[in-house]
Amino acid sequence: MLLLSFTICLFIFLFTSLISHTYEILSIDTYTKKIMAIDKSAKIFVAGHRGMVGSSVVRKLNQLGFHNLILKTHSDLDLTNQSDVDTFFSTNQPDYVILAAAKVGGIHANKTYPADFITLNLQIQTNIIVSSFKYKVKKLLFLGSSCLYPKFSPQPIPENALLTGPLEETNECYAIAKIAGIKMCQAYRIQHNFDAISAMPTNLFGTNDNFHPENSHVLPALLRRFHEAKINNVDQVVVWGSGSPLREFLHVDDLADAVIFLLENYSDLEHVNVGSGNEVSIKELAELAKEVVGFKGELIWDSTKPDGTPRKLMDNSKIAALGWKPKISLRDGLVDTYKWYLENYGKQ
């Protein structure tokens, strides 16, 4: 497994070096295409529309008046099946594609099922990107994740930090697959002039988040634990670590807004970071989540447990320069997320 991981990393590094060299030789205008607004009647395929990101994108598109969305569940279309995906594109001929479909999970899932994370993600993104080019999609947006950056990236993390150091071991297979997706979009732009772009969102939360007790991320996990402690009259909640690490969070509805903004306002080789630009310590986050839930008990910090990376913040200057900024505060987003949790999980 380590040999496979090293071989794939070496291939991606060499391929990236080739792209970077080519990028330096040719003018940036070579890869820049004309920007224009998307017609409201355009056929837009949102891959992964039932997930947290995809469902938010669909809501945003509907709010903006787009009325020709193409949405398929897994039972309708298996995105890992090349033949099925090719037939789907041939039949439906979408104008735009938003690739939000992915095999995702927390640390436990990534460590337990690494083969699934690398294989399924490579299959999904390869099938969709290849078919999008083959059937003349006007533009494709691919979604990455901040966890694709090296474990010890400079802070804040700029776009050019990608592939400059070793990855976080716990999600290496997922990261390698998704990095390959970004590089595939770049390769198709260079070789075929295909308008494929990539966005790199920071830590997300919001409607349709994963509140699983074992596989959820820190923010939904805190909301769930505080809620369960409140309804069960528990007077203490133990939280791992010291609470000192700094993290950045973005409400998923802000990401959806950024996705549509980038589709209409960006067309170039490099991926674009999408974050809030605001840091919060895990301790501050826990206190805020506790307040939103209404848990009156005590927080106990277990400093024998690992803290993880001390700081993780995206450099969002590129998308800010394009004219986009987030609108939802962390507190408002937490209130919205907890409300959704109560409506969907609160009685369990």
Burial class (CB in 10 A: 0-12, 13-18, 19+), 84: middle
Q: Which of 319, 205, 219 is nearest to 252 (CA)?
A: 205
Instruction: Give the H or E element holding residue 273.
Output: strand 272-274
How far is residue 316's CA from residue 272's CA, in Å, rounded to a whole number?
8
Contact between 211 and 223 under an 8 Å Cβ cutoff? The reply is yes
Residue 148 CA to residue 179 CA, distance in Å, equals 7
Q: Yes or no: say if 57 and 100 are a contact pair by the CB < 8 Å rule.
A: yes
Which residue among the candidates 174, 188, 266, 338 is catalytic per the annotation?
174
In three-state secondary structure terms, 175 is: helix
Contact (Cβ atoms closer than 8 angstroms) between residue 79 and residue 124: yes
Reference 246, options 191, 197, 302, 202; nearest CA is 202
How far CA 173 is from CA of 104, 169, 170, in Å, comes to 11, 8, 8
Bridge partners of 280, per DSSP, are: 247
Q: Give the 3-state secondary structure of residue 241.
A: coil
Measured CA to CA, the distance from residue 219 to residue 318 in angstroms comes to 26
Q: Is 174 a catalytic residue?
A: yes
Residue 195 structure tokens: 């308008």
Give the three-class secondary structure for 130: helix
Query: What are the catalytic residues?
Result: 174
